[in-house]
Amino acid sequence: MANPARRHPANAPGPWFVDRSCINCDVSRQCAPEMFGETDDQAVVVRQPATPSEVEDATRAMLACPTASIGVMGEKPPTDGLFPQPLEDGVYYCGYTSRHSFGANPYFVEQEGGNLLVDSPRFVPALVGAFENAGGLAHILLTHGDDVAEAERFAGHFHARVWIHEGDAPAAPFATDILRGLDPVAITPALAAIPVPGHTRGSVVYLLGGRFLFTGDSLYWSRRRGRLSAFRDACWYSWEEQARSLARLEGHLFEWVLPGHGNRAQGPALQWQAQLRDLVRWMGSTADPSDW
């Protein structure tokens, strides 16, 4: 639980606060950007919630925080039913991010033929119960080794198949299905795994129904820049290889960008193709990373 005695002094006056245990993973600012900002390399409350919907957003940020650094004094808001949070057509944001993955965003997909979990949240009763009520999990899709978190517990509980690329397989020795090489692999008729080495040697994106692209840490939407971007300062394998991988993605259509870190976004497929081309050109240049 967040500790009021460790409340950051930059928090706006009022009941909601962030304490000094924050690791600045950006989850709070993604869940409630109107209420949370950044000071001294950590999140702080910049404005207290003023409406019921804002309280709900702040509560989601509190639940999603991987370090339990967000707190509220006085009466606690209700939390039932806030996660998984529906996005569109059976795709949900799970919240309850894990410190083991530095607050990476996990997703749940409810679909006929078997539900999906993309990367791992914390193994908490609220999510386990929601997944059970939806029919369990058939597949756990790991985008790369950084975001495995508690995938093994979910896999054991639901007897799910676990997918990861051989380049990052040591991070998930419990995986049942190992992807190899660079060619896309059809997991189901509607779901493809597309290897994109760069952020890590074994990074993968998963494309569902030609609409939802789960990108791990290979690609995200920057709310600061208002466009697709990549983490130059958090590339653990090869920036040049990542640029080549993203160039290959230009041949795939999608409407949703659903990253592990960074903001998710929805837009027309042709818009994303154009932004991908611009991003790849920038990645091949000598521009300052802060320019993108």
The whole-number pLDDT of residue 292 equals: 52
pLDDT of residue 5: 97
Can you give the pLDDT at residue 286? 65
Report the relative pairing of strands 185-188 and 191-195 from DSSP bridges. antiparallel
Top CATH class, 4-72: alpha beta
- Per-residue pLDDT at 285: 85
Q: Is the dihedral of CA 76, 81, 82, 83 positive or negative?
A: positive
Whole-angstrom distance, CA of residue 14 vs CA of residue 196: 45
Please state, in angstroms and rounded to a whole number, the distance separating the CA atoms of residues 21 and 41: 11
CATH number of 85-291: 3.60.15.10
Domains of the chain, by residue range, sit at 4-72, 85-291
- The token duo for 165 is 């690329």
Question: Is the distance from CB of 164 to CB of 202 less than 8 angstroms?
Answer: yes
| The predicted structure's pLDDT at residue 85 | 98
Stretches where the chain sits below pLDDT 50 are: none
pLDDT at 287: 60
**Whole-number pLDDT of residue 136:** 98
Q: Give the number of other Cβ atoms within 10 Å of residue 113's Cβ.
A: 10
Give the pLDDT confidence score for residue 1 in this predicted structure: 87
